[in-house]
Amino acid sequence: MTESNYQLSSLPTYARKELRELVRSQLKALLEQADFKGAKAILQPVQEADIAEAIEGLPETMQVIAFRLLAKDEAIAVYEYLDSSVQQSLCEKFKRQEVIDIVDKMSPDDRAKLFDELPAVLVRRLLGELSPTEREATAQLLGYEASTAGRIMTPEYISLKESFTVTQALDRIRSLAKTTETIYSLYVTDAARSLTGILSLRDLVTSPLDKTVGEIMTREVISVQTGTDQEEVARLIQRYDFLAVPVVDREQRLVGIITVDDAIDILEQEAAKDIYALGGVQSGGDNYFQTDLITVARKRVVWLFVLLLTNTVTGSIIRAQEDLLQQVVALAAFIPLLTGTGGNVGAQSSTVVIRGLNTDEITAMGPMKIIVREGMAGALLGAILGTVATAWAYVLQGNLAVAIAVGLSLLAIAMLASIAGSALPFLFRSLGLDPALMSAPFITTAVDVLGVLIYFSLARLILQI
Amino acid sequence: MTESNYQLSSLPTYARKELRELVRSQLKALLEQADFKGAKAILQPVQEADIAEAIEGLPETMQVIAFRLLAKDEAIAVYEYLDSSVQQSLCEKFKRQEVIDIVDKMSPDDRAKLFDELPAVLVRRLLGELSPTEREATAQLLGYEASTAGRIMTPEYISLKESFTVTQALDRIRSLAKTTETIYSLYVTDAARSLTGILSLRDLVTSPLDKTVGEIMTREVISVQTGTDQEEVARLIQRYDFLAVPVVDREQRLVGIITVDDAIDILEQEAAKDIYALGGVQSGGDNYFQTDLITVARKRVVWLFVLLLTNTVTGSIIRAQEDLLQQVVALAAFIPLLTGTGGNVGAQSSTVVIRGLNTDEITAMGPMKIIVREGMAGALLGAILGTVATAWAYVLQGNLAVAIAVGLSLLAIAMLASIAGSALPFLFRSLGLDPALMSAPFITTAVDVLGVLIYFSLARLILQI
């Protein structure tokens, strides 16, 4: 975590955005003129996160040059802020020694993240060239499954012993402050490295100097396991307003911590995943605006093929009713209205349920209660829309039988859609599948196919064909 | 922010969720039996956030009783964790003195949040009964517009003077530690209360005791204005991994700070707003699972009426082509496929652009570049889907002319949809409207109406009718 924050000057945020734009365009212009001294000068007073953004905005060939202009320590800090796709492309262009220098100085959790993206051959070679302690720390993190606490934790925390006095503890913190992720959350371990308590720097600073750590620490600690899902960890930090949470292995030994800044990024990632899933786009970890067109198309085409298939089924149902349609062509005009409304009512229900599942807001009610409630909401919406649609259809076409068939179908479809929309996310969740990703295709299929069937059946019944 | 974290015991997170369920059901059972002593006993070792959740899960009549069982200090902490709808309903049931006691001890930012929800009469009465300093702090926060930095900031921060030595600064922190939101971010002001620098407790702890604050502080500070939008503040904290950011008024005087835990909640709210908007559900600040059925229906019906209107237009276009449909009934079968695919391609493009706009990921490219890129992606997807759909339609129906009309329409519609889907969010943004809320209805309308027109025109051209 960064605690000191400096900038060209104390600018309001809207001006800061323009400032970042300016840095980017100036940097590009100076590099194009090969004015490296000038480029170096304008980067000097800029925040590391902003330098990273400026570099990301450059053409690939210039990225390496701009990066090489940075002082060594700064280069490492900037590198950690870069998007992983840019990190990777830089890594492939660096000289061997440059890569080793950077990778050796990165923090173990960031390094594990980078190694995730690099080709396995390169990773093995790099791991071999790291200093032994760094190699061990990284190899350990890489041993945990992706998206778990073990993979995202940092092993750079401060641990204390119960017997330490406050003075001793403060001395230890002072000596370790430069190399740890945070000094505000402190962890107490016994001889077997088991976590026995935690305390905050606030606790320490407000206690008499001769008290021992064991006397002021909190013994009942909320911790997570190395295998805990990263989203669960982030929600825990959010729920209790923690600055960090300790990670223990199966033997309750402290192996790392996860800090609040990582929690924010995880929650953002998860929100993005849900948003993309709802929009029918597969999400990767990458920044979308840095991926190529083929990848973009590939991430969308699957969902579109599912719809193509669904629509073929719907289409063949419609075709099977050609006799009906030929007699009452007016019926065809309402098909988009019915499937469209059904799809939207279903999406509304599933959106609410999926969001509730992901944020744990839903736990207070059981699935049954929510499905019944959504079904009632669907019936209410269906009744309102059905009444309006019946009146409308009658005014437009003057065929009362068709108008009633449309209205009744709308009521039935809205109920069906809201029940399917609320029940399917629970079903997928219980099967261990991601509700956000799985629900939409199935809801669309169910609503389209069943909706059209209901419509034609009702129409035949009412029109007596 | 909470820094000490305690719990019944160090349970893995999955077990903690079950534990919360257990507390809730036990609490309810004990209250039903009027066993208040038992209820009090089971709440004793539970985290405040978890007590709040247990109370939220109770029927309304029991909420007041359960809340009254808590010790006074704990009651205030629990109250701050409660959902605002529950806070409000409790507030209306309390005795006058109870309310005053609680409200007086809440932190000013949480109190301002509560006052936002309560009826104006009650707020005026409560404000009158607060102690003068608390009244002033709250009235000040209430003076700022909702969703701005001024409204969500806390005035409880630690300010230092440049002339303080490290020892003096540490003494001041020790004396203020109990009443401030955080002691890790420290703010330096001059005689005019202007913010002149910041430093972290880490800086202080690692500096020699005889240095002055002026010597170790950072002079270039990133700050926000009271009027800055809350989402912008949260993104700033996320971007730079800050623990807190200072808020200044127009005269650069320090008036408050916003901490990282508030930033997480804001980002979650904003993500929820986008998710709901994409799902066609209006979002309020409330927890959806605590609102009644009428409100639920009201939040959805607007969007459904927009669709009804769109579909009526589409429907009348279809009706206008009755002569064509009567001659080639097969054409009707593909209408859902075309409007469905168009809607989905449009949703994919707008999802990506809206997310990019909201997270500022998009700034590196201009709007034109993104719209062109999306148009190309749409053309690529349209070509793939069009080819498949043509082959499929031919196999299914054996009518080559219809199959070609379907394929070509799909190509045209996919391009149209992706361009509309990427351009409209930019348009609404530049008009000062929320892209997430406004884009979907307009994209659906454009794609449905124009899509059907394209289809019929192409069909007439190819079939020569």
User: How distant is the Cα of A362 from the closest Cα of chain B, in angstroms?
Assistant: 7
Q: Which of B278, B384, B389 sits opposite A275 (nearest CB)?
A: B278
B279 in Cβ contact with A418 (< 8 Å): no
pLDDT tens digit sequence for B125-159: 676 677 777 766 776 777 788 788 988 888 889 99
Nearest residue on chain A to B445, judged by CA atoms? A340
Structure tokens at B255: 């008036």
Instruction: Provide the pLDDT for residue A367.
Output: 85
CB contact under 8 A, B359 and A275: no
Chain B residues in contact with A295 (beta carbon < 8 A): none
Chain B residues in contact with A289 (beta carbon < 8 A): 356, 361-362, 364-365, 370
With a cut of 90, say whether residue B53 has pLDDT above it.
no
Would residue B270 count as lying in a domain?
A: no
CB contact under 8 A, A232 and B184: no
Cα–Cα distance for residue pair A407/A392, rounded to 1 Å: 10
CB contact under 8 A, A268 and B359: yes
Q: What is the mean pLDDT of residues B378-383?
A: 93
Verify that A167 and A260 share a domain, yes or no: yes
Instruction: Provide the pLDDT for residue A1.
Output: 41
The mean-pLDDT minimum among A12-21, B53-62, B289-298, B363-372 falls in A12-21
Q: What is the mean pLDDT of residues B167-194?
A: 90
For residue A47, which phi and psi values (nearest 5 degrees)?
-60, 145
Verify that B164 and B206 share a domain, yes or no: yes
Verify that A169 and A134 share a domain, yes or no: no
A157 in Cβ contact with A257 (< 8 Å): yes
Q: Greater confidence, A213 or B56? A: A213
With a cut of 50, say whether residue B207 has pLDDT above it.
yes
Verify that B36 and B81 share a domain, yes or no: yes
Instruction: Provide the pLDDT for residue A299.
Output: 78
DSSP output for B167-183: HHHHHHHHHHTTTSS-S
Cα–Cα distance for residue pair A380/A392, rounded to 1 Å: 18
Q: Which of B24, B174, B241 sits opposite A2 (nearest CB)?
A: B241
Would residue A165 count as lying in a domain?
A: yes
CB contact under 8 A, A268 and B267: yes
Instruction: Provide the pLDDT for residue A120.
Output: 65
User: How distant is the Cα of A65 from the closest Cα of chain B, in angstroms?
Assistant: 19
Chain A residues in contact with B343 (beta carbon < 8 A): 340
Residue among A380, A453, A384, A361 at smallest CA distance from A418: A380
Would residue A3 count as lying in a domain?
A: no
The mean-pLDDT minimum among A37-51, B10-24, B169-183, B442-456 falls in B10-24
Q: Greater confidence, B59 or B374? A: B374
Instruction: Provide the pLDDT for residue A424.
Output: 92
Verify that B381 and B435 share a domain, yes or no: yes
Chain B residues in contact with A271 (beta carbon < 8 A): 267-268, 271, 274-275
Chain A residues in contact with B351 (beta carbon < 8 A): 275-276, 278-281
CB contact under 8 A, B271 and A267: yes
Q: Which of B250, B265, B280 is at the close of a domain? A: B265
Mutation choice for A interface testing from B311, B396, B409 by most A CBs within 10 A: B311
- The DSSP letter of residue B224 is E
Instruction: Provide the pLDDT for residue B408.
Output: 95
Q: Which of B243, B274, B365 sits opposite A289 (nearest CB)?
A: B365
User: How distant is the Cα of B131 from the closest Cα of chain A, in angstroms?
Assistant: 27
Greatest mean pLDDT among A110-119, B105-114, B219-228 lies in: B219-228
Instruction: Provide the pLDDT for residue A246.
Output: 95
Q: Which CATH number is A242's domain given?
A: 3.10.580.10
Verify that A311 and A376 share a domain, yes or no: yes
A243: left (phi over 0), alpha (psi -120 to 50) or beta: alpha
Q: Which of B201, B325, B381 sits opposite A304 (nearest CB)?
A: B381
Nearest residue on chain A to B175, judged by CA atoms? A206
Chain B residues in contact with A305 (beta carbon < 8 A): 385, 388
Verify that A300 and A366 share a domain, yes or no: yes
With a cut of 50, say whether residue B5 has pLDDT above it.
no
Q: Which residue has the tokens 């793939």?
A: B384
Q: Which of A265, A278, A297 sits opposite B380 (nearest CB)?
A: A297
Q: Which CATH number is A77's domain given?
A: 1.25.60
With a cut of 50, say whether residue B309 has pLDDT above it.
yes
DSSP output for A286-349: S-GGGS-HHHHHHHHHHHHHHHHHHHHHHHHHHHHTHHHHHH-GGGGGGHHHHHHHHHHHHHHH
Domain that holds residue A24: 13-152
Q: Which of A13, A184, A347 sits opposite B280 (nearest CB)?
A: A347
Instruction: Provide the pLDDT for residue B237.
Output: 92
Would residue B114 count as lying in a domain?
A: yes
Number of neighbours of residue B304 by Cβ within 10 angstroms: 23
The ipTM, to two decimals, is 0.72
- The DSSP letter of residue B361 is G
Chain A residues in contact with B237 (beta carbon < 8 A): 264
The mean-pLDDT minimum among A168-182, A347-361, B8-22, B326-340 falls in B8-22
CB contact under 8 A, B267 and A265: no
Q: Which of B152, B170, B205 is at the close of a domain? A: B152
Instruction: Provide the pLDDT for residue B310.
Output: 80
Instruction: Provide the pLDDT for residue B9.
Output: 40
Q: How far apart, in Å, are the Cα atoms of A279 and each of A302, A351, B421?
A: 13, 11, 11
Q: What is the mean pLDDT of residues B56-70?
A: 80
Instruction: Provide the pLDDT for residue A121.
Output: 66
Would residue A66 count as lying in a domain?
A: yes
Residue among B186, B278, B73, B127 at smallest CA distance from A276: B278
> Per residue of chain A (465 residues), what is the pLDDT tens digit?
433 333 334 455 555 667 777 777 888 888 888 787 888 887 877 778 888 888 887 887 788 788 877 877 777 778 878 877 787 777 777 766 667 777 777 777 777 777 766 666 666 667 667 777 776 677 677 778 878 898 888 888 999 999 999 999 999 998 888 778 889 999 999 988 899 999 999 999 889 989 999 999 998 889 999 889 999 999 999 988 899 999 998 888 898 899 999 999 899 888 888 888 877 777 654 556 666 778 778 878 887 888 788 877 888 888 888 888 878 877 887 887 888 888 889 988 888 888 888 776 666 667 888 899 899 999 999 999 999 989 988 887 788 988 999 999 999 999 999 999 999 999 988 888 878 777 777 888 888 889 999 999 999 999 887
User: How distant is the Cα of A34 from the closest Cα of chain B, in angstroms?
Assistant: 22
Q: What is the mean pLDDT of residues B409-421?
A: 94
Verify that B304 and B386 share a domain, yes or no: yes
Nearest residue on chain B to A260, judged by CA atoms? B260
User: How distant is the Cα of B340 from the closest Cα of chain A, in angstroms?
Assistant: 8
Q: Which of B99, B124, B152 is at the close of a domain? A: B152
Number of neighbours of residue B151 by Cβ within 10 angstroms: 20
Would residue B4 count as lying in a domain?
A: no
Verify that A48 and A89 share a domain, yes or no: yes
CB contact under 8 A, A363 and B265: no
Would residue A61 count as lying in a domain?
A: yes
Confidence band, pLDDT 50/70/90 cuts, at residue B4: very low
Mean pLDDT of all residues belonging to chain B: 82
CB contact under 8 A, A278 and B279: yes
Cα–Cα distance for residue pair B131/B204, rounded to 1 Å: 34
Verify that A383 and A457 share a domain, yes or no: yes
Q: Which of A275, A279, A363 sits opposite B21 (nearest CB)?
A: A363
Instruction: Provide the pLDDT for residue B198.
Output: 94
